[in-house]
A and B are shown apart, each in its own frame.
Chain A
Amino acid sequence: MSQANSHGHDAHAGGSHGSLKSYVIGFLLSIVLTIIPLVVILNHMFGETTRIAIILLMAILQFAVQLVFFMHLKEGENARWNMMALVLGLIILLTIVAGSLWIMTYNQVAH
């Protein structure tokens, strides 16, 4: 009973299940974005600052790929609320990480 109901009624409930195509694209992009930093690091390409910038950029891009293609951030009825909660979370996260690094880097002087 409940199974039959859920089928018709809840077809749009989650609303955010994507398609096989979006999962395959996301998976391929993730593989590429994992291989690029590996190649850069294992072959000692570029200078140190450039290397760090490249691998961090690839990680952030892969984060975005997973959000869009796997977690379907922009789909579904709650998309707006999900996005707002995520942005708030990221602001807190970046404040904690950047703030800690900043304070602790300058704190070395006070030894």
Chain B
Amino acid sequence: MAHAATHHGHDHHEHEHHDHESLKTFGFWIFLITDCILFGTLFATYVVLRGNTAGGPTAEELFQMPGIIAETFILLTSSFTSGLAVLAMHKGNKNQLIGWLAVTALLGASFVFLEVSEFVHMVTQEGATIATSGFLSGFFTLVGTHGLHVSLGLCWMIGLMIQLNKHGITAVTKRKVDVISLYWHFLDVVWIFVFTVVYLMGVM
């Protein structure tokens, strides 16, 4: 009797726990949508300002496509590998999960490295700073905000790998992996629009 009661209580608890986790995932989805709107305002600002170069360098002069193309494919591949991490998680394979997350983080780090080198080159070699023109203010704010999101995602992913190593695949770490992979796919989607609107239209 007592056993049945505890068992029931336990089930109930598990059920609530599960609802709680799926509600958190939904909450994160809503955050992503507000983040989408944030990027929308930055895109609008960039597009409005992109002709105002104030005598400074223009997009055609600044952008070097080989590096940008590499960044694009690196981020695209990392979006795919973060999906593979989720698949490994659902197979219950912890080492494979951490492995794919590590691959994703390494690709993300190479992306950030390439982007920072691009910015350093612009500022030191071309004298194109955020204060040079309206075009560059819009550019650095938009692309920099995206880069900041990726860097933040990297720290988060490293923290999550440590947590997974310590606690294994539980309901909580599962939700966290689901959420970070959503975040990572979202960053790839934003990059596609950066690539199209900023770089491709810039060198046209």
A interface list, Cβ under 8 A from B: 2-3, 5-7, 9-10, 13-14, 17-20, 23, 26-27, 30-31, 34, 37-38, 41-42, 48, 51-52, 55-56, 58-59, 62-63, 66-67, 70-71, 77-78, 81-82, 85-86, 88-90, 92-94, 96-97, 100-101, 104
Contacts and interface: CB of A to CB of B under 8 A. Distances in A.
Contacts, number: 143
B145 to A, nearest CB: 15
A80 to B, nearest CB: 11
Contact of B36 (A59, A89, A101): A89
B203 A41 contact: yes
25 contacts: A5-B14, A9-B14, A14-B178, A23-B87, A30-B80, A37-B196, A37-B200, A58-B196, A59-B195, A63-B189, A63-B192, A66-B185, A66-B188, A70-B79, A77-B22, A78-B29, A82-B26, A85-B30, A90-B36, A93-B36, A97-B40, A97-B44, A100-B41, A101-B44, A104-B48
B129 to A, nearest CB: 24
Q: Is the interface of A mostly helix, strand, loop or mixed?
A: helix
Interface of B: 14, 18, 21-22, 25-26, 29-30, 33-34, 36-37, 40-41, 43-45, 47-48, 65, 69, 72-73, 76-77, 79-80, 83-84, 86-87, 89-90, 92, 168-171, 174-175, 178, 182, 185-186, 188-189, 192-193, 195-197, 200-201, 203-204
